[in-house]
Amino acid sequence: MIKISIKTQNRVLISRLIWSTVISSLILGCSNHEDLKVQNSFQRYLDTSTVDTFDLLIAQTTIFDGSETLKPKRDVLIHDGTIEFIGSVDSLIISIKKTIVADSLDILTPGFIDLHAHGNPLKNPEFVNFLYMGVTTICLGQDGTSPNYDDLTEWITRVEEKQLGPNIALFVGHGTLRLLSNILYKKNPDQADFDQMDSLLVHAMDVGCFGMSTGLEYSPGKFADSTELDRLANIINLKKGIIMSHIRNEDDLELENSLKELIRLGSKCPVHVSHLKSVYGKGNKRGAEILDILEEANQKGFEVTADLYPYLASYTGIGILFPDWAKPPNIYADVVRINRTKLKNYLTTKVESRNGPEATLFGSGKYKGKTLAEVATEENIDFADILINLGPSGASAAYFIMDDSLQSTLIKNPLVAIGSDGSPTMYHPRGYGTHAKVIEEYVVKRKTLALEAALTKMTSLPARILGIKDRGQIIQGAKADLILFNPLKVKANATFEDPYQLADGFNLVIVNGQITLMDGNMEELNGKIIRRTSQ
């Protein structure tokens, strides 16, 4: 339980806090010489500061500042949404509105940055699922799909009128650009088409998008060729953005070619692999081979990174199971009428290759919460006929198609950050548990990751990938997005059976200097739209 004291008078004399010296094996000690240095630095800070009263003091806690180390016995002063000072604060000589007194085993870290998230802030602006797992910034506009606005300024203005839980960083979707420029399913856009798409992309970047996302496995993004992608990558480079890509094919046999297609764009601008995985791939060795591709690209001077979530089931529309010839721009009713037997044979083979109908769990529609195998038994028809009757846009589902040893190899690599690929409404636990599970499962239980490495993947590494310099770190002058928690008490409660259970353990969540979550209770919502800068 966090203790909080509130003082509003100027120059109030506050007794110095007396702390126990109980430190877990996660927390490192520091020397008396270091203590003296940080105490002297506070007086030097006051000599130049114009602040009379500080909003918040988080006192004598261990901090992870984003530099891959834990630093004990630090005070953090916050004012007007900004971290003003880190060190040893003499609270006898300053005024502080609120003082946070945490348990001795708690750690203060930057708020987590979720590199790949979904949701509609116009409908669910609170995004409480993310706040409860320590996420203070989410990246929307993923997989090639972003708000369907010619002028994103209009969407941004509407969102800014809402009370947001976390901050929102926006990407413009390549598929949406094709839609808005009326290219849609064209394989060979003409010059006028390209000019329109270029103009939309430039505008999106100019109003603050961090880059462009692609969904090359989905329509209409799958119709883009190298000429189109090169053209857009050149614009992203000029605007100092990044391309985040749901690559063309995540099946193990096609994975390398798909990664290399994206990496080739890395010669023009930074590129990032969304939800890195191998469908059908197995084993530590295969995981290492995949990582070698990313590492080789970086050794050549390309900026190539990735993210993943700590679950072995993906989630997307059931269209992923259907052949291209059964999806737009083809007319599905005609496909079924003319080629039903061919389609049924295709779906049967596809599902069986993806670990069978038991490995497909519906997350929307009338079969939500049931596996494809269960539905087939209940309906007393073949599972392929269930899919045919639904059609490629008839539902979404989770697919248990990933290998634990392979994914556990990927998560350890320093080029790989964490992205939930989740939302407030998705029927998958990743939207409510990802960041908590990384700590609970990979740090505490398995000890696959050191605590500092895991925190880096959720704070400073995502900030660096996005080019955000004032978040993801606890440094003087940074925005005060902060979380306080005991790693041993963090728990991801969401399951595939009940995916909407909030995470536990993040006792304090601060967004832009305001307490948003404390001891499990929502307080003030203070998220913002954050924009890319060209610096």
What is the per-residue pLDDT across 437-479, written as a single tens digit (0 to 9) for each? Answer: 999 999 999 999 999 999 999 999 999 999 999 999 999 999 9
C-alpha to C-alpha distance for 156 and 148, rounded to whole angstroms: 12
Above 60 in pLDDT, residue 518?
Answer: yes
| pLDDT > 90 in the chain, percent | 87
Residue 2's contacts (CB-CB under 8 Å, 6 or more residues apart) are 100, 101, 102, 103, 484, 507, 508, 518, 519
pLDDT band at 47 (very low <50, low <70, confident <90, very high): confident
Burial code of 87-117, b = ≥16 C-beta within 10 A, e = fewer? bbbebeebbbbbbbbbbbbbbbbbbbbbbbb
Q: Over 70: is that where the pLDDT of 359 sits?
A: yes
pLDDT for residue 15: 31
17, pLDDT greater than 90: no
- Residues 178-196 have a mean pLDDT of 95
Contact 356, 379 (CB under 8 A): no
Amino acid 48: pLDDT: 87
pLDDT score of 457 = 98
Mean pLDDT over residues 178-191, rounded? 95
Average pLDDT over residues 478-507: 97
**Residue 11 pLDDT more than 90?**
no
Mean pLDDT of the chain: 92
Predicted local confidence at residue 23, as pLDDT: 31
Instruction: Supply the pLDDT for residue 1.
Output: 64
Q: Report, as an integer, the average pLDDT of 295-312.
A: 97
Q: What are the residue boundaries of the structural domains of the chain, listed by start?
A: 318-400
Give the model's pLDDT for residue 2: 67
> Looking at 45-59, 368-382, 397-411, which range is the least confident one?
45-59
* Whole-number Cα distances in Å, 86 to 79, 423, 475, 507: 12, 34, 7, 21
**Residue 234, pLDDT above cutoff 70:** yes
The closest alpha carbon to 479, from 80, 159, 126, 161, belongs to: 80
Q: Quick check: 12 pLDDT over 50? A: no
The pLDDT tens digits of the residues spanning 216-232 come to 999 999 999 999 999 99
Looking at the chain, the whole-number percentage of residues with pLDDT higher than 70 is 92
Check residues 13 and 397 and name the one with the higher pLDDT: 397
Mean pLDDT over 155-161 rounds to: 97
Q: Give tens-digit pLDDT for 76-117.
A: 999 999 999 999 998 888 999 999 988 888 999 999 999 999
Torsion angle of C-alpha atoms 162, 165, 171, 173, degrees rounded to 10:
-70
What does the block give as tokens for 254?
């096609």
* Res. 535 pLDDT band, cuts 50 70 90: very low
Question: Phi first, then psi: what are they for 453, rounded to 5°?
Answer: -65, -40
**According to the model, what pLDDT value does residue 5 have?**
58
> What number is the average pLDDT over the span 370-399?
97
Question: Mean pLDDT across the stretch 185-197?
Answer: 95
pLDDT at 295 over 60: yes
Q: Does the structure show a pLDDT above 90 at 69? A: no
> What tokens were used for 172?
């413009």
Q: Are 463 and 113 in contact (CB under 8 A)?
A: yes
Is the pLDDT at 66 greater than 60? The verdict is yes
Across 113-141, average pLDDT: 98
Q: What is the pTM of this model?
A: 0.91
pLDDT at 3: 63
Confidence at residue 104, expressed as pLDDT on a 0 to 100 scale: 83
**pLDDT level of residue 38 (50, 70, 90 thresholds):** low
31 vs 314 pLDDT, higher one: 314
Q: Locate the DSSP E strands across 174-261.
A: 211-215, 242-246
